Amino acid sequence: MSVRNVVPIQINIKADNVVSYEEGLTFLQNHDVVKELGFKYLTSVNDCVEMLDLTRATFERNILENEIVGIGVRHLHVTGVNFPRTRIYIEANDLIQYLIDYCSLTYWKKEKVTGDEYRLNKLMSDQINNEDIEYLARALMDRRFKSNKQLEVEYKRTRPIVSRLSNIIDSISFSFPGSQRQLKRMVLSPTDSNEQMEAYFTNYKSYENKIVKVD
């Protein structure tokens, strides 16, 4: 049996006009309970689904409420007068922590060694520290998590070309409880502009030769 890890919140808004999603989120961020919880990166379940490039059904079944592990990610369920229709909100750090705790998240982290030489370190769940979690949460909120499918469409490259990016930039992989399927997401850095991404594709071998992958 699964348990919804939910924090109920009621917000009544006095408004003559329809309250927008952004306005509702601002009210929520200023709520005493949210402040007490120390939530930093709060976003809706709809955005989480989009940012991880999952279907809503997959997200709900495996993350929001998981029958295999018996608990889902902590989330806020908001009710109240005039609050927007979007009712479920999740903190990005909580989401990353859930993937670590229950979905065997592995983080391939790019680190500078010297000059223009880099190393890709494989960090297992128990090796990912709070600073890493914060970085990944911020990357998620900035929509820097990218599936192969998204990159194929965005940069008009084939899957084999896109998939080898995992040899030269940050990436994560995870699998839902009870599933053997590994889901991979590239994690673009703040400096990975469109121009930089094109450079990765065009000069891939040059970048690959400067990086050592460490299992």
Residues whose CB falls within 8 Å of the CB of residue 82, separated by 6 or more in sequence, listed in order = 12, 13, 14, 15, 19
Q: What average pLDDT score do residues 138-157 get? A: 97
Confidence (pLDDT) at 135: 98
User: In the chain, pLDDT over 70 holds for what percent of residues?
Assistant: 99
pLDDT tens, position by position, 151-197: 999 999 999 999 999 999 999 999 999 999 999 999 999 999 999 99
Confidence (pLDDT) at 25: 94
Provide the mean pLDDT of the chain.
Answer: 94
| Beta-strand relationship, 75-79 and 6-10 | parallel
Q: Where are the domains of the chain?
A: 6-100, 105-214
**CA 137 to mean position of chain CA atoms:** 6
- For residues 105 and 128, is the Cβ–Cβ distance under 8 A? yes
- For residues 145 and 51, is the Cβ–Cβ distance under 8 A? yes
3-state secondary structure of 184: strand
Confidence (pLDDT) at 17: 81
Confidence (pLDDT) at 4: 75
Residues whose CB falls within 8 Å of the CB of residue 14, separated by 6 or more in sequence, listed in order = 82
CA atoms within 13 A on the CB side of 97: 13
Q: Rounded distance, CA 131 to CA 169, Å?
A: 18
Name which of 113-122, 127-136, 188-197 the model is least confident about. Answer: 113-122
Q: What average pLDDT score do residues 195-207 get? A: 96
pTM of the model: 0.94
Name the one residue in this structure whose structure tokens are 């896109």.
162
**CA dihedral sign, ordered 197, 199, 200, 202:** positive
